[in-house]
Amino acid sequence: MGRRGYPPEFRRKVLDLLEAGRKVTDLAHDLAHDLAISGQTIYTWRRQDRIDRGLEPGLTSSEKAELVVAKRRIAELETELQATRRAIELV
């Protein structure tokens, strides 16, 4: 498949299977045929879930989302500033 953004419900089901004792390699093997999910993807999901629950250090999902929004806004402001500077140079 090779696409980004599996639904949160699907990720939760995969994480629940891990918590129930399934191995990452077994899940990856079972899911790889139909959905092209690698073991690394599952490991990443598990690590992010542990960070979100406060079991590991790192940026939570909400903090990552805030950071993306902030970076986007900074880029917009830098573009506006650059346009303003050009306008001032012309005056």
Neighbours of 81 (CB within 10 A): 10
Per-residue tokens: 90: 């012309």
Q: What is the pLDDT of residue 90?
A: 92
Distances (CA, A) of 59 to 27, 56, 62: 26, 9, 8
| E-assigned strand segments in 20-65 | none
Domain boundaries, the chain: 1-58, 59-91
The topology (CATH level 3) of 1-58 is Arc Repressor Mutant, subunit A (1.10.10)
Task: Tell me which DSSP letter residue 20 carries.
Answer: T
pLDDT in tens, the chain (91 residues): 345 678 999 999 999 999 999 999 988 888 877 778 889 999 999 999 999 999 999 999 999 999 999 999 999 999 999 999 999 999 8
